[in-house]
Structure 1
Amino acid sequence: MHLPRWYVKPKTLGAGGTIDLDEYEAEALPARRQLVTSRHLLPVEQVADQWSARGRTSDVKDLSLTVEIDGRPYAPAFLLDPTLDPVAVEHLALVLSELSAWSKWQFFTSKNGSLGGDTPLDAIRKGNRDGANRAARAFLDR
């Protein structure tokens, strides 16, 4: 599987095939900072305010999509995309609740063969909630 640059795989494994998490995070940090610079990730307070203004009663933090970069919490800008059904996004976030926020980011933003090459976000935009849901369950099983 091809992983985006922000989801950097460590170059080396430690003794016994273990991953040095500090090295992993250090390798991923520049690409993750770029997500903030490009406004793909926004300060969580900004997203939370606009999310509730969209009539959503769930807390953005409850969706477990919040990531931390340089000690600050950020949330995906796609939560504010008016072309996305927020109920479908909430549902998929809950289906994926056992995963880390970065794994959820990977799911939502990566092209998926079972969705005809669309990302799950594209599938939601096109009304293919069932396909996105199946893709989420398959992602959990990987």
Structure 2
Amino acid sequence: MNRDGLREAARVGQRKLVADGTLVEASKFLQEWGFSKQALSKAQAANRVFSLDIEGERYYPAFFLDPRYDRAKLEKVSKVLGDLLAASKLHFFLGARGSLAGKTPLEALAAGQLDKVVNSAQGFAQG
């Protein structure tokens, strides 16, 4: 597949994540998160949360709003992932990991396995 084909496939995939609710618009995220734009900006600068820019709009992972996950733990893992691209961070959180016995980091966090997820994130961030 050529470069244009890869870009179009990525756009289609991103639109699907918006359509299925995996990613939410910035306005909805701010409203449900209960933080000001300034507080969100600081959290993003500190790598505690991340967003993806899709067709000129900013979207955030809905799992940060999901009551099944402790927000502070999600932020800790996001911070460990550091300056990785937002798409890579999203891939980490949503993908099954051998280091987590085939669970996704979200599943492992819901099961109380923060230390294992942090270790997996460190390895992922180091490549």
TM-score in terms of structure 2 length: 0.86
Higher RCO (CA-CA < 8 Å; seq separation 6+): 2
For residues 5 and 26 of structure 2, what CA distance do their matches in structure 1 show? 26
Count how many residue pairs are aligned between Structure 1 and Structure 2. Answer: 121
Structure 1 counterpart of 2:56, one-letter code:
G
2:60 and 2:53 mapped to 1: Cα distance?
9
Partner of 2:57: 72
Identity, % of aligned positions: 31
Contact 1:65 1:102 in 2 (8 A): no
More helix per residue: 1 or 2?
A: 2
Instruction: For structure 2, list consecutive stretches of 5 or more residues without a partner in the other structure.
Output: none
| Paired letter, 1:35 | L
The equivalent of 2:24 in structure 1 is: 42
Moved over 4 A (4+): none
Amino acid of the residue matched to residue 120 of structure 1? Answer: P
How far, CA to CA, are the matches of 1:58 and 1:121 in structure 2? 24
1:26 alignment partner in structure 2:
8
**Which structure 1 residue ranges, 5 or more long, are not aligned?**
1-10, 13-19
Q: TM-score, normalization: structure 1?
A: 0.77
Aligned equivalent of 1:108, options 93, 97, 112: 93
AA of the residue aligned to 1:89: L
Residue correspondence of structure 1 range 1-142 to structure 2 within 5 A: 11-12=1-2, 20=3, 24-52=6-34, 58-59=39-40, 62=44, 63-142=48-127
> What root-mean-square deviation, in Å, do the aligned CA atoms of Structure 1 and Structure 2 show?
1.9
